[in-house]
A and B are shown apart, each in its own frame.
Chain A
Amino acid sequence: MPEELSLPIKSDADIVVARQKGRALATDLGFSTTDATLIATAISELARNIVSYARAGQIALKAVMRGSTRGIMVTATDQGPGISNVSQAMQDGFSTSGSLGLGLPGVRRLADEFQIDSKAWEGTKVVFKKWNV
């Protein structure tokens, strides 16, 4: 597996591929099965947000280091409509597409580091990091 992998996300089949590649990288990096499952689930949610809200985007998977600790960085990018109210979208139970509305707050709970940037009509970028400690 290369150190960095960029995956196009356009359909529900791409969601499955992204989470499988994410699990494979997490396993290569020495994450436990439990953590690899958390990471794969987070990728699934991020990829689904791309398909549901922006129709198309990318998921980038990267091995990262912090001192001697290995980790995984997942970057979800789209050029979709953006999120007009990020703080509202980060509240449990908030949804605009009729989904469960648990996506982003749930993903943040699975992460060690989580960052979201979104601009209306420009797109959204979510960075998710998990360290193998």
Chain B
Amino acid sequence: MEVPILKQGDFLIATIQAALTDADLMQLRSALVHQVVRVRSMAVIVDVTALDVMDSFATRTLREIAHMIRLRGAETVIVGIQPEVAMSMVQLGLTLEGVTTCLDLEEGLVYLNQKKAKSTG
């Protein structure tokens, strides 16, 4: 299942809507890395609210997405990690070090808009 990516102002928003296979995750990574420069986005938000499992592969792929987007000159914010998912990740020893996370999409947009205001103001 392909993840829809919407352009909203200076940001790209990828909203995961159902369980993803490894191939889906890799497709998302590739799509974001290509699109972020094509549409000249400052930042990418990946909304993982619908993900009920984040295993080592999903975590690693999200971290790779954030690092690749940074190399492309933009920022990534992961939003919507569910409480049970966070607990499982910690117990498994999975981390998203160096990746910005926010509670939900709303918080993610507030964070990025504040950052944008600071850099342009």
Contact = CB atoms under 8 A, between A and B. Distances in A.
Interface of A: 12-13, 15-16, 19-20, 23, 33-34, 36-38, 40-41, 44-45, 48, 92, 99-100, 102-103, 105-107, 109-110
B55 A45 contact: yes
Given A37-B88, A102-B94, A106-B92, A12 B53 contact: no
A39 to B, nearest CB: 9
B19 A41 contact: no
Nearest to A34: B84
Contacts, number: 75
Closest 3 CB pairs of A and B: A106-B92, A37-B84, A12-B22
B94 to A, nearest CB: 7
Given A37-B85, A38-B87, A15 B56 contact: no
A104 B11 CA distance: 38
Interface of B: 19-23, 52-57, 59-60, 82-85, 87-89, 91-94
A48 B93 contact: no
B97 to A, nearest CB: 12
B53 A44 contact: yes
Contacts of B83: 34
Contacts of B20: 16
Contacts of B56: 45, 48, 99-100, 102-103, 106
Nearest to A92: B93
A19 B84 contact: no
Contacts of A19: 19, 53
A40 B91 contact: no
Nearest to A20: B19
Given A12-B21, A100-B60, A37 B93 contact: no
Contact of A38 (B21, B57, B88): B88
